[in-house]
Structure 1
Amino acid sequence: MRVGSADGIPGVSPAAAPPLPVKGQLYQQLVSWVEHQQPPGRVMLANTDKTVEHPLCKFPSMLHYKGGNVNAGASYDCR
């Protein structure tokens, strides 16, 4: 089986349904930051059917599992 990319993420199969930003989500965060001086807060990513949700961590922070439902964004934090 050949693994392609899911919305530009190399090596991630689209069949895996990974959490990804919705169309325009990151752009709107950037516009708010630049035009209204509102830096992005916690950005949540979800898969297409919204059964998996994870926060997007800013570098150099990494995603850490705190416990609970592995598919819920509240079960993770960025450290």
Structure 2
Amino acid sequence: MNIYFAGSIRGERQPENVETFKRIIDVLKKYGTVLTEHVGDSKLTSTGEKLPDCEIFNRDIKWLENADLVVAEVTSPNLGVTAGI
């Protein structure tokens, strides 16, 4: 099963949120492949990835189209997570 996990990368990215993301991702990995495992990477900062926004959007759309399941952690407000949902 392909799983798309959505969590805040830009903006409200706090260390405690990243730890929560990691725990969720670890559980999800028991059930399938987490397409967005990078969301739990503590090396990502609140400025996000070093890719143009359009590339991130297109990549995420492909992942969403290939996902069997979407899980979103929505504690922190984030437009990217909202768009994914």
TM over 0.5: no
Q: Which has the higher strand share?
A: 1
After TM superposition, the score normalised by the length of structure 1 is 0.28
| Higher RCO, Cα 8 Å, sep 6+ | 2
Q: Which has the higher helix share?
A: 2
Q: Point out the structure with max Rg over C-alpha.
A: 1
After TM superposition, the score normalised by the length of structure 2 is 0.27
